[in-house]
Amino acid sequence: METFNPDPKPGRLVLPLVLIGMIATTYTFVNRVATNNDLDISAVEEEIVVIEEEVTEDSTTTSTTTTTLPLEVVTYLEEIQGEKVQSDELGQTVLEANEKWDDELYSYQEAKDEFAKFIEDAEQFVDTVSEPGPPNTFANLVTSHDELKVLASLIYEDTKELLEGLTSSDTGERRAAALDSFNKNLALFQQKIEETIASATSS
């Protein structure tokens, strides 16, 4: 006759007993090793140090200094800036007329008329530069303006020399020299205006 086993899984009672036995054995072994070797078994508390990094904000303040120029100085600077534009236009007129003569796009009479016309323009340019000029109370502007008037007069003389070169009996050397002088004096005139404006607005 077979004996009926009411527990279909008898092994599940054995496993806890085995685990308990292993834990007890381990505990006993560790205590014995510690006792024989005079070891101190205690819980170690680990101290965690938190280092806070201090952030320093670098705030740089930029100060802008605004210089207020007197109204009469501002008016003068605007005036010479306009004269610089006029000098550009005069230079372009002279250059185009000279190139058209070189390229034989002008007849001799047309070239003479055109050269005579920009002599008139240059003469009017001298008058424009001369007056009214800067305030007398600003010596540096007065000095710069005197230099501008000299350069404007040289430009005018160059335009007359260009016409003389056109009508001369040489093969164009005199006219070429006059054109070179015109271009140099025109560049110096414009450079002087730029320096004058820069000096007045930065001081």
Q: Are 114 and 97 a contacting pair, CB within 8 Å? A: yes
Mean predicted lDDT score pLDDT of the chain: 82
Per-residue pLDDT at 151: 97
More confident residue, 7 or 88: 88
Q: Where are the domains of the chain?
A: 71-202
The CA angle 93-95-100, to the nearest 5 degrees, is 95
Query: Mean pLDDT throughout 98-124?
Result: 95
The pLDDT assigned to 125 comes to 96
Closest C-alpha among 137, 142, 145 to residue 71: 137
Residues 145-158 pLDDT 10s? 999 999 999 999 99
**pLDDT of res. 64:** 46
CATH number of 71-202: 1.20.1420
Distance CA 125, CA 134 (A): 17
What local confidence, expressed as pLDDT, does residue 202 receive? 87
Whole-number Å distance between alpha carbons of 197 and 136: 17
Would you say residue 122 has pLDDT above 70? yes
pLDDT band at 23 (very low <50, low <70, confident <90, very high): confident
User: pLDDT digits over 27-52, tens only?
Assistant: 666 566 556 655 555 554 555 444 55
pLDDT of residue 12: 60
Position 135, amino acid: P
Contacts of residue 167, defined as CB under 8 A and 6 or more positions apart, other chains included, come to 112
- What pLDDT is recorded for position 16? 62
> What is the pLDDT, as a whole number, of residue 65?
43
- pLDDT grade, residue 88 (50/70/90)? very high
Q: What is the pLDDT of residue 132?
A: 84
pTM: 0.66
The answer on pLDDT for 63 being more than 50 is: no
pLDDT score, position 68: 82
Residue 54 token pair: 């201090």
Answer yes or no: are the C-beta atoms of 191 and 147 closer than 8 Å: no
Mean pLDDT of the 120-126 span: 96
